[in-house]
Amino acid sequence: MRRLRRVLHLDGLRDDRGMAMAMVIIFGMVIVVMVTTSLTVATSGLRKADNDQDWNGALSAAYAGIQDYQARLANDTGYTQYGNPDAQYTTKNASAGTVRLPTDANPAFGTGVSGTWATVPSSGDSAKYRYEVDNHRYLVDGTIKIRATGKVGNSVRSVTASVRQQGFIDFLYFSDYEIQDPQLSGKSATNCARYAYAGRPSTGCNEIAFGSGDVIAGPAHSNDTMRICQATFSTSVTTSWKPASGKTYAAVDSNNNSCTGQQFPAGTTQPGFESSIDMPATNAQQKRETRTDLRTDVPRPGCLYTGPTDIQFTVVDGVGKMIVKSPYTRQTRWAGDDGSAIASTQSTDQPCGEPGTGTGKLGSANGATVPVPDNNLIYVQNVPSAKTDQNYTSTSVLPATCNQGNGVGYPLAGETAPTFASSSAPCAYGSRNGDVFVKGKLQGKLTIASENYLYATGNITYNDASSDVLGLTATNAVWVWNPVGTSTTSYDCGSYWYPRTCTSTTNGALLGDTNREIDAAVISVAHTFGVQNYDKGGLRGTLTVKGAIAQKFRGIVSSGDNGYIKKYQYDSRLKYLSPPKFLNPVTTTYGITTVGEVVAAYRADGGNR
């Protein structure tokens, strides 16, 4: 203060005159310093706010890129083939040879400093994105991986996402109609094969209700109106019935009696709405995956077998193997639209077995032992009737018979083959049927498809439940094999004075074991999944299915004191992992199965990091 008085020449004064001016200067300087500091802090804050906004905006732009690609797939399912073969993510994942740029330029396929960026709508040209495509597994399991990069200002962020076709394996339980298969019930398909909300009679069609303590431990969907009684749905449940008001299910049992006891997922009181998911008419499209003359669409053909075929999985020295018996197979792949061409020898790295009856061949008593065609498909077709087909066998050599021996051990000795209520149903164990009989422990990733029936003749389990996956598809029914036979026993029914012998005839199970497990995604395209002879043979234990079940009509697994108790569990891996070359709905949609942020792929100038 004294120094300030000297500077202001006030030290000669004997009193405090002039101090007011000094105080004003002091406080003025303090205020100037404070204002300057405030401006500095405010400017820094604005700069930080701008950076934060750009940083967050870049991530949003990256997600916008994922959504854009998803939308393009929805509009054009063939868009899976497009991408930039020069993009770093594409080449790194061996997809450069399976993608190409579209005719209509997509700015999001740009790469490098001079490459283009797509603009996020309504962003004022400030938010941009580009994406790279990895489709090398698309033909195997329907999965595409995308790396999308968003940019706002100098902020750049990237995310990767797995995009997969949404379909039947998204549900533990899927059905088209909530009635018994008319081929089994004998009811009119014309009257009954329609949805309840589309005019199906309320009686006379063998509608099947959820009840008797059913627990559906996974997502469930029906295109039809569901009858629900004493049943528990532990996760999501949806229907394609959307009434104007009231319940979205029918609280009645199979006999139209009102019921209670329904339990739905927490926070819900009834099924939600989901648009109808249409099933293909057959699984014939899967047969195409065994052609050798479609190198672009089918680079790795699977195996084709003809007529009744028995497959048993096994693991030998850590390698997945299968023992295949298929006596009427003439060639294990095909070519030409009518099957008349001789298939090439491509894909010999995945042998299917050699046709013929010699030792170790497909027609021999012990069959052929070959590696499981990993990440591929097996298709079993009916014996062709066209003489030009390479797999043709004449009816004079192989008559069309039912239940008289199909060349691979069915029916069993003493077995009473099942019959069906409708004459339109293919017979059991037809000699020329494309039936496949499957059991064993699988190591690998595989889909088995049959033109006719598919039978689970024993346990079908995974060697490694974390990596193995199996798909089972049939145009007709998928049966849990449960053979029964008629046995006649004699006993003494007389007395000492009047000796007499009586006989009794019973239907009994021919299998000595109980319980059955099927680890697979199962689909019956045109009919049903159920237990063969579900009303005969006594109680068989528990039927465990770990996977997914899709069917045209509801199947039956037990009746009275016969058949199996259900224990169905959803394999949650099916949300992101599909069996190879599995069936998809008629209308294809794509969903994101996994998504997460990764290190930014580009610099702000567009160059690769």
Selection from 67-81, 536-550, 579-593 with the highest mean pLDDT: 536-550
Give SS3 for 182: helix
Q: 226-249 pLDDT, tens per residue?
A: 999 999 999 999 999 999 999 999
Q: 444-477 pLDDT, tens per residue?
A: 999 999 999 999 999 999 999 999 999 999 999 9
Determine the Cα–Cα distance for residues 410 and 415; give it in Å rounded to an integer: 9
Domain positions in the chain:
284-484+510-580
pLDDT at 348: 47
pLDDT at 29: 59
In this predicted structure, the answer to whether residue 91 has a pLDDT above a threshold of 50 is: yes
552 close to 474: Cβ distance less than 8 angstroms: no
pTM over 0.85: no
Taking residues 118-139, what's their average pLDDT?
93
pLDDT confidence bin for 34, thresholds 50/70/90: low
pLDDT at 39: 47
Taking residues 313-339, what's their average pLDDT?
95
pLDDT at 49: 58
Q: Which residues contact 520 (CB under 8 A, 6 or more apart)?
A: 460, 470, 471, 472, 545, 547, 579
Assigned token pair, 294: 């479609």
Q: 490-532 pLDDT, tens per residue?
A: 888 888 788 888 887 766 899 989 999 999 999 999 999 999 9
168 close to 277: Cβ distance less than 8 angstroms: yes
Selection from 51-60, 245-254, 480-489 with the highest mean pLDDT: 245-254
Taking residues 220-225, what's their average pLDDT?
97
The DSSP code sequence of 52-117 is HHHHHHHHHHHHHHHHHHHHHHHH-GGGGGBS-TT-HHHHHTT-TTT-B--SS--GGG--STT---
pLDDT confidence bin for 11, thresholds 50/70/90: low
Q: 556-565 pLDDT, tens per residue?
A: 999 999 999 9
Beta strands in 95-203 (DSSP E): 118-119, 127-134, 143-152, 155-166, 173-180
In this predicted structure, the answer to whether residue 27 has a pLDDT above a threshold of 60 is: no
The residue among 591, 592, 589, 593 whose CA lies nearest residue 278 is 589
